[in-house]
Amino acid sequence: MKYQNIFRVLLTKKIVILLFSASLLAGCATSGLQLQLSKSAAMEKYQSVNELYVLLIKAEKAGVGYLAPEGYSDAQKSYDNALDKAMSQDAEAEKLAQTGLEQLRTAMKNADTSKTIMREALTARAKAQSAAAPTVYPEEYSELEVKLKEATVAIEHGDTEDAKELCAELIKEYATLELDSLQLGITHKAKAAIATAEEQEVDEYAPKTFKLAEEELGLALNVLNVGRTQTPKAEAHANKAVYFANKSIYITETLKDFERRDFSSEDRVLWYQKQLELINKPFEKKLTLDDSNHNVVMGIQARINQLIKEKNAAEKSTSEHKQEIASLNKKILISEASMKKQLLDIEEANRKAQARFDKIQSIFTEEESYVYRQGNNMLLETHAFNFKVGGSEINSSNFDLLEKIMQAINVFDNPKIIVTGHTDSTGSTALNMKLSQKRAQTVASFLKKVGKIDSKDINVKGCGETRPVASNKTKDGRERNRRIEVLILNK
């Protein structure tokens, strides 16, 4: 038993010594290593590495990668090496980055030379790309890209004559590839248009129109499968597919706009009738909308047909009739211009009104005021005025709210203001009417004096308990009903 205890003591001491030795070795090893930086931290510490990175992105966007490929590749390698060194906190990172910057600046100069010498070839290349050559003929296009690289490398080496010979070949070959791509790839735009339409959820909002686009694309593909010589017919179907796909997108955008603006069914009909009124505006006879849609549309069509008929008759007559034609043409142009201007004005007015609404809404908290947009006007439904029971004096704690109301008013240019007071149903009707009038007058007086609003631009109303927005049976409802409304009318 005695020897066993001695053995345990010795074993314990040995373990402690081993652990201590391991700890010392680990500490020594750690002290000999630099901490590895993240990419962002390395770039922040080594500015030349970051500068090279930014310039590489700029050069790539400018096409230096294919206009001066060797120089661009060397600069990219220098950047990769510099970044590795920077992340290891090696001072050599700055030197490597400076080398990369010199390589890249030289490459950018060579790229400018390539643009000059290879100008026509690059134009032909762009046309081939527009004709979807990389997608329709990927192998042939890749071969031309290799030849283009040979030409630009020759320019980097100063062999401009070799580059010019290759340029002449590339112009012809890119042009041929463009023609072939147009013949075979006429459905590319249709497919892209349909793909875009699918992303816009047109199958939900405009399924019938979208189906027509898919059917026309199918017909185009069938024609091409029969024979490539039928490209004009296939192209006609493809163009129809693009038309219906785009149409479905615009239908979807319009319907989504209705949803965003919370249009009811009646709002949509009124919007549609407004468009009819804009179209009819140049005609002397006012459009009457108290009739069936069929009759209204037929009436407009009859007026347009009459204009066309008169125009055709005038073209066949003497100079006097030619003057009439000019007058009719002017009316048509005015009609188109008027419709476009009205639509643009509506869009601009809606944009400005929405911007004002967003700005005013950001001023208030929900506890202070609800903000409602009424066309181009704004209604502030304030609930935070702490009037004393039966009193109409403004508490000093509400000065901040009044300042915010003035901020909202100042979003408009010289608006008209209507301040309306409301109470809950507590107390007599007559007393509530008088109290609401006095409270509204108090707020209006503040806006006149402090906000410098002209008296002629502000009106005051008291509605008492007659226009509740919530139930007077609950405390919360009564608090909502005790409110001041400020209607800001856009001139």
pTM, entire model = 0.36
Quote the pLDDT of residue 31. 41
Task: Give residue 323's pLDDT band: very low, low, confident or very high (50, 70, 90).
Answer: confident
Rounded to an integer, the average pLDDT of 76-98 is: 92
179 is written with which tokens? Answer: 């023609």
Query: Is residue 355 over pLDDT 50?
Result: yes
Cα–Cα dist 244/134, whole Å: 26
Are 398 and 383 within 8 A, CB to CB? no
Give the pLDDT confidence score for residue 180 in this predicted structure. 75
Higher pLDDT, 167 or 479: 167
* Span 404-441, pLDDT tens digits: 999 999 999 889 999 999 998 888 999 999 999 999 99
| Range 305-313 average pLDDT | 83
State residue 16's pLDDT score.
41
At 6 the pLDDT is 43
- Ranges 102-116, 284-298, 315-329: which has the least confidence: 315-329
Q: What is the pLDDT of residue 139?
A: 93
Residue 459 confidence (pLDDT) above 60: yes
- Per-residue pLDDT band for 101 (boundaries 50, 70, 90) equals very high
| DSSP conformation class of 35 | P
Cβ neighbours, 10 Å, residue 177:
24
Residue 49 has pLDDT above 80, yes or no: yes
SS3 of residue 208 by DSSP:
helix
CA–CA gap between residue 473 and residue 274 (Å, rounded): 43
- Cβ atoms of residues 116 and 69 within 8 Å: no
Tens of pLDDT, residues 360-370: 999 998 888 89
More confident residue, 446 or 26: 446
| pLDDT tens digit sequence for 51-68 | 999 999 999 999 999 999
Question: What pLDDT digit, counting tens, does each position of 107-116 carry?
Answer: 999 999 999 9
260-285 pLDDT per residue, tens: 999 998 998 899 889 888 888 888 78
**Rounded CA separation 289/42 (Å):** 71
* pLDDT band of 24, cuts 50, 70, 90: very low
Token output for 298: 């037929």
| 317 has pLDDT over 80 | no
Q: What is the pLDDT of residue 324?
A: 77
Q: Are the C-beta atoms of residues 71 and 119 closer than 8 Å to each other?
A: no
d(CA 455, CA 447): 10
Mean pLDDT along residues 36-51 = 89
Query: What is the per-residue pLDDT for 426?
Result: 87
For residue 28, pLDDT over 60 is answered with no
Please give the structure tokens belonging to residue 344. Answer: 């643009």
Q: Bigger pLDDT: 325 or 309?
A: 309
pLDDT in tens, 193-229: 999 999 988 999 999 999 999 999 999 888 866 754 6
For position 110, what pLDDT does the model report? 93
Is residue 29 over pLDDT 90? no
- pLDDT in the model for residue 287: 84
Q: What is the mean pLDDT of the chain?
A: 85
Torsion of CA 247, 250, 256, 260, to 10 degrees: -160
Question: What was the pLDDT predicted at 245?
Answer: 94
pLDDT at 319: 65
Q: How far apart are CA 285 and CA 305, in angstroms?
A: 15
Distances in Å between the Cα of 274 and the Cα atoms of 193, 267, 287 are 30, 10, 10
